[in-house]
Amino acid sequence: MYFPGKAQIRDSPPGPGDEMGGVELSTMAGHSGPSNPAQTNKTTSKSSSNSSSYYSSSSSADEMDEDDDNQVEGEPEPDDPPVRDGGNATTLGFEFELLVAASRFNESVPEPHPGDGRWISENLVNEDKDGPVFKYTCRNKIIDLLLARGVSAHKTEELLWGVQAVDPTQPDFLWWDSLEYENPNQNDEVLTNWMGNWQWKNQKEMHYAPEDDPDPSLVPGLDVDSRYTRWSCTDDISIETSWPTASNYIVPPGSVPIDPYSQKPVGSPPDLYKWFGAEVVSSVLDYDNPQTYPTLKTACGAIRDAMRIHKPMAFIESGVHVHVGQQAGWTLLHLKKFATLWQLVEPSLFKLHRKDRKESHWCEAMVWNSHLARLVYRRDDRYTAYGATVTGPKRTLYETQMRQYIPELGRRRRLQEYFYHLWLYDTINELNSAMYPVGSGCVRWIISGNKLSDEPGAFRKLQTLEFRLMQGTLDADHIWKWTSILERLVVFARDSTADVYRNAVAELLEQELPDALGLNKDDMAWFKSRATDGDHFAYPENGEINWSDPFMIPGHGDTHNPPN
C-alpha cells in the first residue's frame, strides 16, 4: 500500500505535538474485515530477527530476581497468564462532555435564539448557576430525556454539590427534583404528612438509589461501581477552564438581541445564556452487543433533539472519552503489545480529530509526556525511577520475548531504548506507572495488577484504558467510527501471534497500514474526506462558530448543517 508523503519515523520527537512519523491512517479507502487470528500461524516474518544492541543485556543468567523471593530460578513467571473464567467481552464506557444552554443570562436578556424551539428554562434565570438547584435541574432534565427514549439511566446524589434551599417554596428540593417539574414537591407534601417526613424521604431515596434496575445491556457478570450500571450525568467544571469571548464567534448583524431603549446589543456571546457543563456517562457496554451502537444513537439523539448543545469549538475544552476494558482481564503481555502499537500510531490518530486537540491541556500526547517518554526522549533524570529494573532470568525471558515481537529497528536508537524499557517491565503496575502522563494525557491507564489486571469494583480501579483524543460531540456515527478503531487496536494487541504482530510493527515502521489490524477502510475513507484542515479532521465551519447557529442540529449524526 502506498502512503503519500512517507517519511522515516523520527528517533525522538522534536517537541510537544510534533509528528514522529507513523502511518497515515486517514489515507486509507475501501473495505476490510476484522483480523483473522486463525491465519496468523501461516504468516512468515517479513523482517529480520537480528537483535539490536538494546536487545542484548549485560545481565547474567544466574542473577537472582530480588523482587520475587518465591520465584524458582530459571523458571520466571510468564507475563501472559490465563485470563479469568467466564465471558471476555471488550467493554466500553463513554463520557460525553457537553456545554448546555440552560437559561437566559438574566431577566434583561431576551430569548437569544427564539427560532430554535428547544428547551431553555425560565425557572433557572434567577438561580445561581453554581448552586445545586441549578445543577440538579439541568442534570435531571438530561436523565429524564434519556429515560423517555428508553435509555436505562438513573439519578445519583452528588455529594460535592451540597444541599441548598434557594427558593423558600422549595424547602425540600433534593437530588431527584427539578424546578422544571410541575409542582415538583406537591406529592411530597401529602405523603410526608401521611407517612412522616423521614419515612417518606427514605422511601424516595430507596426508589432513586443507583443499585436498582441495572441497564439490561450491562455486560453480565461484571462487578462495577453502581454508578456505571446505568447511564448517568454529572457536572464538569473543566469545560470552563478556557472560555470563548465574542471575538471567537462570527456575529452577524441581528444575531444578538437589541435593547429597545438603548438600541444597543443586550450583551455578547456566549454570555447571553447561563450554561451547564454536563458530563453524560454511559453504563458499561459490550462492544459486540448489537444493541450498543443503537443505544449510542438513541442517547445522542435524545439530548440533541431537546436541548441546545454548543457545537465543538477550540475555545471550549470538551471531549468524548472512550473507556475500553477487557471483561476477563488484561495480561501484561497484552498491554506491552498495545503500548508498542500506540507509540507508533498516536501522531496519526491525532489527525483523525480537530487540530487543536493535541494542544489541549486535557489531551497531551503520550509519545512525549508519559513518564517513560520523558526519561527516554527528554533525558529528564527526574523520571529515572520509571525505567525497567528487572534482572536475572526474567530479564533474559523478556529480552527473548521482545525479539519475537519487535523487528530490527536499525538506527532508531531512542525507539529501541523506549521499547527495551517497555518490554522489561515485570508487572502491570510498573507499566501503568511508566505510561502515566505528566499532566492530562490523551490516554489514561486506569489499570492495576501483577501479570493479570485486578478485577474492577466499587473501590478499585476501573481497569480500562481511557482514550481522550476526541473533541466534544454527540455525533453517534462519528463516535462509533472512532471507537471501532480503538477496539481493533486493543483486540489486535490481544490476539495476534508473535509473527503477525512483528510483521505489523515492521509495516508501521515503513509507513504502511497492516491489513492484520482489521481497520474498516470505509471508516478510514470517511475520516480522510473530513480532513479539510490541512491533514486534520475539521467540521464544515472549520472551527468558526456563527452565533446565529451555535448549537448542534437535532439528530444523532452530523452535528452541523451541510455547507451551503
Is the predicted pLDDT of residue 79 greater than 50, yes or no? yes
The CA–CA distances, whole Å, from 52 to 116, 181, 337, 364 equal: 63, 69, 19, 31
Is the predicted pLDDT of residue 3 greater than 70, yes or no? no
For residue 129, give every residue at least 6 positions away whose Cβ sits within 8 Å of its Cβ, in sequence order, or none: 102, 274, 275, 276
CA 332, CA 365: separation in Å to the nearest integer?
A: 22
Q: For the chain, what's the residue count?
A: 564
Cell numbers of 191, please? 405523603
Of 503, 526, 316, 317, the C-alpha closest to 407 is 503
CA 509, CA 503: separation in Å to the nearest integer?
A: 10
Q: Are 176 and 204 in contact (CB under 8 A)?
A: yes
Of 300, 444, 282, the C-alpha closest to 363 is 444
Nearest-Å Rg of the Cα atoms of the chain is: 26
**Residue 88 confidence (pLDDT):** 93
Is the predicted pLDDT of residue 505 greater than 80, yes or no? yes
**Residue 360 confidence (pLDDT):** 85
**Residue 362 confidence (pLDDT):** 84
Q: Are 66 and 391 in contact (CB under 8 A)?
A: yes
Average pLDDT over residues 486-494: 98
**Phi, psi (degrees; rounded to nearest 5) at 101:** -75, 115
Average pLDDT over all residues of the chain: 83
CA dihedral for 512, 513, 514, 515, sign (positive or negative): negative
Cell numbers of 542, please? 472549520
**Residue 25 confidence (pLDDT):** 53
pLDDT tens across 403-422, in order? 999 999 999 999 999 999 99
Cell numbers of 248, please? 471567537
CA 512, CA 336: separation in Å to the nearest integer?
A: 21
| Interior/surface letters 299-310, b for 16+ CB within 10 angstroms, e for the rest | bbbbbbebbbbb
Cell numbers of 33, please? 474485515
**Residue 343 confidence (pLDDT):** 97
Task: Decide the pairing of beta strands 249-250 and 545-546.
Answer: parallel
**Residue 61 confidence (pLDDT):** 33
What angle (nearest 5°) sits at the alpha carbon of residue 264, between those of residues 263 and 265? 130
Of 261, 273, 223, the C-alpha closest to 106 is 273
Q: Between 418 and 215, whose confidence is greater? A: 418
Question: Which H, E and C letters describe 194-236, residue by residue?
Answer: HHCHHHHHHHHHHHHCCCCCCCCCCCCCCCCCHHHHCEEEEEC
Average pLDDT over residues 144-151: 97
Q: Between 17 and 74, whose confidence is greater? A: 74
**Residue 75 confidence (pLDDT):** 56
pLDDT tens across 108-124, in order? 999 999 999 999 999 99
Is the predicted pLDDT of residue 330 greater than 90, yes or no? yes
CA 310, CA 99: separation in Å to the nearest integer?
A: 6
Let me know if 130 is exposed, middle or buried by CB neighbors in 10 A (0-12, 13-18, 19+): exposed
Q: Percentage of residues in the chain with pLDDT exceeding 90? A: 64
CA 105, CA 331: separation in Å to the nearest integer?
A: 52
Average pLDDT over residues 238-252: 91
Is the predicted pLDDT of residue 221 greater than 60, yes or no? yes
CA 112, CA 118: separation in Å to the nearest integer?
A: 12
Is the predicted pLDDT of residue 499 greater than 90, yes or no? yes
Cα dihedral 217, 222, 224, 227, rounded to 10, equals 10
Average pLDDT over residues 158-187: 65
Is the predicted pLDDT of residue 195 greater than 50, yes or no? no
Average pLDDT over residues 41-53: 40
